[in-house]
A and B are shown apart, each in its own frame.
Chain A
Amino acid sequence: MLVCTAVWKIFGPAPEKAYAAIAAEAATGKLAYPDHVIAVRDVSFEVRKGETFVVMGLSGSGKSTLVRCLTRLTEPTAGEILIEGQDVRRMNDEALRNLRRHKVSMVFQNFGLLPHWRVLDNVAYGLEVCGVDKRERHARAMQMIELVGLKGWEHKYPRQLSGGMQQRVGLARALAVNPDILLFDEPFSALDPLIRREMQDELLRLQSTLHKTSVFITHDFAEALKIGDRIAIMKDGRFVQVGAPQELVLQPKDDYVRAFVKDAPRAKVLTAGAIMQRSPSGSAPNGRTVAADVHLEALLPMLAESDVPLTVVRDGAPVGIVDRACVIRALIDEQAN
């Protein structure tokens, strides 16, 4: 669906030359050109259809630049970006515009709404630039407004809305053109913690029916764990580790990742299948079972009621057992040992 190979972005007066110099030095990382900053450094990844791919990094790690490179809002310096097999970097202006109009939509950190337009017109913006006529685009926009729960607010102006509601408008606007891919650039970072959680739930609810292929940028590890099917940890322009949430939590690649994992809500991330003891004998003595993809959160009360281990089953077949000890072990931070 979306494949990036060795994408680079270098800011500065002569990025091409700087890139060539780095390539010549076989990516030792030292930048010979002093006025240049490497924002994105040799990043490759693939997002599968329907998957939510989260890029998590602290400010200045290059994550926002990376997401802008995908539709060339920021021109990448090197690398290949394929969207549905088409090379984005080879597209001419027209093709690129069509990509942005029909295939890929974006939700912004600061909402990027047009303050002089009503909510309805804002949501219809993407349709308007494509030349969809007024009645049709307003009808479609109204559907989207209902979808994000803003019915009754369509004639208000952005300034009259709270931050969370403004971002719902941003979301509705992105969905209105029915894109194949959604890009989220820290969409909830500007919101209060409670509203942020509400918006995350809202997004998960929408995704459970829409299944849009998404790239989601965030600086919040908990948010990454909650939303992402897979997560890339980004630092200084490159991916440190890419993997599913529980892979990161159980096997952090280095201290940098471990520092994030330390405070992760392990009970919400880890599943029975990830912490079980593989049991050659098959099932545990009494007949109680639990599915492999159940989170510890749900497993804990079950174990609290049961003195004996539970059998973990995947696709109906027993694959191992969990008992209280292995849950406790999994919940203890490895660092603490």
Chain B
Amino acid sequence: MAAPSPTLTRPIASAGLARAARWLGPIGLLAGVYIACLLFPSLTDTFPAQWNLGMREAVDDFSRWVTSNRLSHPAFAYFFDPLSAALDAFVRAVENALLGAHWAVIIGVTALAGWLLGGWRLALVGALGFFACGLMGLWPQTMQTLALMNVSVFIALLIGIPLGVVCALSNRFDRFLRPILDAMQVMPAFVYLIPVVLFFGVARAPAIVATVIYAIPPAVRLTNLGIREVQPAAVEAARAFGSTRWQILRKVQLPLALPAIMAGVNQTIMMALGIVVIAAMVGAGGLGREVYLALQRLQVGRAFEAGLAIVLIAIILDRLSEGLSRIDLTQYSIRKTQDAGRKAQNVKRNPASYVLRHSSLIGALAIILVTALCVLAFQDAFPDAWRLPLREPVDGLVRWMRDNLFFITRPLSDFITLYLLNPFRDLLRDVIPWPVVIAAVAVVAYLVSGWRLALGCALGMFMLGLLGMWPQSMDTLSQVLVTTAITVLLALPVGILASQSDGVRRALRPVLDFLQTVPTFVFLVPVVMLFNIGRVPGIIASVLYAIPVGIRLVDLGIRQVSPEAVEAATAFGSTRAQTIVKVQLPLAKPAIVLSINQMIMMVLAMVVIAGMVGGAGLGLEAVIGLTRSETGIGISAGLCIVVLAMILDRITQAWAARQS
């Protein structure tokens, strides 16, 4: 054997050296920080309390000031109180209208809308959905929630769509608003519930304000996107003919962006529905309150019924508004002219074609007729005698599971707590000195992106300490990372499986749909019953919350791998497994990393909810802040969650960007 030629080995050796150097720097830094920590144990064992920014006290002072000045200060007398009263009156009016109307009228109107927007299936979904809510004995609550939804979505669109238009027209405004929208979406709703309650009091008004804040971002984003994606040719032509900006907007951009704007309406509705239970915590009534009360009393069946009703409303509103977004002006008008053409040809009228041509009108008349008959035949309120009790069987099932499945749940719970959560939390919180944790995060950020991100992340981590929340933050960080790891480990194989088989995908679809629309609180109840209070039920609920999106994104990512590459692999005789491992997974890696990013963000969104069932860490602090009006603690904890979310988001985003 000839010795390898030196010209060949040298570049390899130097590449190896470069790679080593890339790792050497970070390792050296960590070691250096660690040694420094050993030299100053008093400063580095726990985060120095004297460095605390004192934000908690300042916020508490402010909230005390607000409470004592509520009645006298002009900001309240002339702004918050009238606004609050107006919102309250608005919701009450809608609520009274919905509750005062005959139940059959509500169902009839829904069916009619469904019929016009999507055909008989949608009409049936709408009618049966509301009917089921009535059968579960939740008619009044359903109407209350519907009123809250309608008003919040209306206001959110009233603000969101114009903002979206301005964003589309002005890049500067877009750049200004984007981080605010990001923060609004990442920030747990609890965090801004605290100041909202402070300013708007308790009951309907703060619930509306919180829902509006939560639901605005998609309306803005999709309006913005829709207008920006209008064919540039049409806009340029309009410009070339001397249109003013307003003319371009009104005659070209808005009509052509309509489908996207309607998709924004759909998203806004879904976001608003996602927060009904949380809104109940500040005094909104309806289904959210049912779930919340049932959760506090651990009544699984009751929570299940109310949760199901929320899911039904979600499905109905989702499908109806999706029908809205199908109104494509360019398509619709073509159908109309074609119909006109057909009509002109059909001079001879036979009855069958007459029925077909006027089917939409006849269907609508039928729905109105049935509704009218129901109004005549039944009383205004939904009949009590019609009852479909779901809560008893559900209660029974959960009781049975609790009594008979403990041989699974107990060891699982113990394993997660003793072997995953505790060691990891202790490591982050107690064993490793805080400067080393910060340095480690910075090193990860440096490796995936560069020094800028590293610096930003280090500052963010330092901020956690400055806010006086270092131990809690580390507790939460450990839970989030463990939860994400579990979610990814489950979502990856299932997602891969779904990408390979349409059957699996079809079978998964209803399950995933259900998990995505069910309010997160609803699965907390059975989970708590099975696993008792503590960190584990929060983790399991978070996994259930994040896993559908994970599975879907992994599936989608793999399916979007170019079919040419897969075909080529098959042509060269790869087995299925080889195709997956050698072609599909590597090519789908950017998408998969992005799905991990999404899973982390969803897990973070659950931190506060996990805190309600004993999740400790930042979530618990936020809950304390809200329920005991400890504004300072609540806001600090909320800020910490946002900071953690931003750090994890940026790092995983950078990681995803490196893949492509």
Contacts and interface: CB of A to CB of B under 8 A. Distances in A.
Contacts of B334: 157, 159-160
A122 B252 CA distance: 11
A126 B234 contact: no
B43 interface: no
Given A112-B233, A116-B333, A156-B337, A177 B252 contact: no
Contacts of B256: 114-116
B26 interface: no
A113 B330 CA distance: 11
Interface stretch (A101-109, A134-142, A265-273): A101-109
B251 interface: yes
A73 B234 contact: no
Interface in A151-201: 155-157, 159-160, 170, 173, 177, 183
A283 interface: no
B241 A100 contact: yes
A170 B429 CA distance: 69
B337 A73 contact: no
B333 A108 contact: no
A108 B240 CA distance: 10
Given A111-B233, A112-B233, A129-B247, A99 B330 contact: no
A116 B329 contact: yes
Contacts of B252: 114
B255 interface: yes
A129 B243 contact: yes
A204 B242 CA distance: 27
A205 B241 CA distance: 24
Given A116-B256, A157-B334, A71 B237 contact: no
Contacts of B293: none
Interface residues of B, number: 22
Given A114-B251, A115-B234, A73 B330 contact: no
A74 to B, nearest CB: 10
Given A115-B256, A156-B337, A125 B241 contact: yes
A130 B330 contact: no
A131 B124 CA distance: 47
Contacts of A111: 233, 237
Interface residues of A, number: 35
B244 interface: yes
B236 interface: yes
A289 interface: no
A113 B236 CA distance: 10
Contacts of B556: none
**For B231, B234, B334, B337, which residue has the most chain A Cβ atoms within 10 angstroms?**
B234
B329 A126 contact: no
B485 interface: no
Q: Is the interface of B mostly helix, strand, loop or mixed?
A: helix
Contacts of B329: 115-116
A157 B241 contact: no
B241 to A, nearest CB: 4
B242 A129 contact: yes
Interface in B510-566: none
B237 A112 contact: yes
A173 to B, nearest CB: 8
A130 B243 CA distance: 8
A159 B330 contact: yes
Contact of A115 (B241, B330, B337): B330
Contacts of A115: 231, 234, 256, 329-330
A309 B251 CA distance: 65
A73 B236 CA distance: 8
B249 to A, nearest CB: 12
Contact of A114 (B234, B239, B240, B244): B234
Contact of A71 (B233, B238, B240, B243): B240
A116 B231 CA distance: 12
Given A114-B252, A116-B256, A129-B247, A108 B330 contact: no
A99 to B, nearest CB: 7
B330 A125 contact: no
B237 A113 contact: yes
A130 B252 CA distance: 16
Given A114-B252, A115-B330, A116-B330, A108 B244 contact: no
Contacts of B243: 129
Nearest to A130: B242
Contacts of B247: 129
A126 B241 CA distance: 5
A97 interface: yes
Contacts of A106: 237, 240-241
A63 to B, nearest CB: 16
The 3 tightest CB contacts between A and B, nearest first, are: A112-B237, A100-B242, A101-B242
17 contacts: A73-B240, A100-B239, A102-B242, A106-B240, A108-B236, A108-B240, A111-B237, A112-B237, A114-B256, A116-B256, A116-B329, A125-B251, A129-B242, A157-B333, A159-B334, A160-B337, A170-B237
Given A109-B233, A160-B337, 5 more contacts: A100-B240, A106-B241, A116-B329, A125-B238, A129-B238
